[in-house]
């Protein structure tokens, strides 16, 4: 199974576009995730049983877990010194052994972003992420991309 996953990761690596949304991670309280997604990195830390804080490129965000599979998202995205507050939600669920799927939707007054993805656990603290992201601004063109990343949890 790992050979198949690594082959898929290799194939996707040649079709990767730029994305901004960090994958949905499951962390234990006090856990930290550092990852790369396309051309950027992200950092998340779970500060309590149900609150995670994170940073990625132009985003600072928080996640509040309602249960193991449902969370609310609130954040701020900075575009050329113009910050936009956004809100959203994410749902995640196990799809198979070592494979978790998720859907996340966030939005602000001038954009919406949908991400559908999966995290494959290579080891207990290393994940590979593949995702499809659709960014829909009110002004300008929509952007649909596939993404590939890796996460180290400790």
Report yes or no: 118 and 101 within 8 Å, Cβ to Cβ: yes
pLDDT tier at 17, thresholds 50, 70, 90:
very low
**CB neighbours of residue 70 within 10 Å:** 13
Q: Which DSSP helix (H) or strand (E) runs through 3?
A: helix 2-13
Q: pTM for the full model?
A: 0.80
Residues 6+ apart with CB under 8 A from 138: 109, 110, 111
d(CA 46, CA 51): 6
pLDDT of residue 19: 37
Q: Which of 25, 38, 55, 39 is nearest to 149 (CA)?
A: 38
C-alpha distances (whole Å) from 153 to each of 6, 25, 93 are 19, 9, 19
> What domains appear along the chain, each with residue ranges and CATH number?
2-153 (2.40.160)
**Mind listing the pLDDT tens digit for each residue in 36-60?**
987 789 999 999 999 999 999 889 9
Q: What percent of the chain has pLDDT over 70?
A: 85
């Amino acid at each position: 199974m790992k050979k198949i996953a690594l082959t898929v990761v290799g194939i996707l690596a040649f079709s990767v576009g730029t994305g901004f949304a960090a994958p949905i991670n499951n962390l234990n309280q006090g856990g930290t995730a550092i990852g790369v997604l396309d051309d950027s990195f992200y950092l998340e830390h779970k500060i309590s049983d149900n609150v995670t804080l994170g940073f990625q490129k132009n985003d600072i965000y928080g996640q509040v877990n309602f249960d193991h599979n449902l969370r609310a998202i609130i954040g701020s995205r900075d575009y050329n010194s113009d910050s936009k507050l956004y809100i959203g939600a994410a749902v995640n669920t196990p799809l198979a052994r070592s494979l978790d799927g998720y859907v996340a939707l966030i939005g602000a007054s001038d954009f919406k972003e949908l991400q559908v993805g999966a995290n494959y656990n290579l080891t207990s603290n290393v994940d590979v992420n593949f995702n499809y992201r659709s960014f829909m601004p009110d002004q300008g063109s929509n952007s649909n991309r596939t993404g590939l990343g890796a996460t180290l949890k400790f």
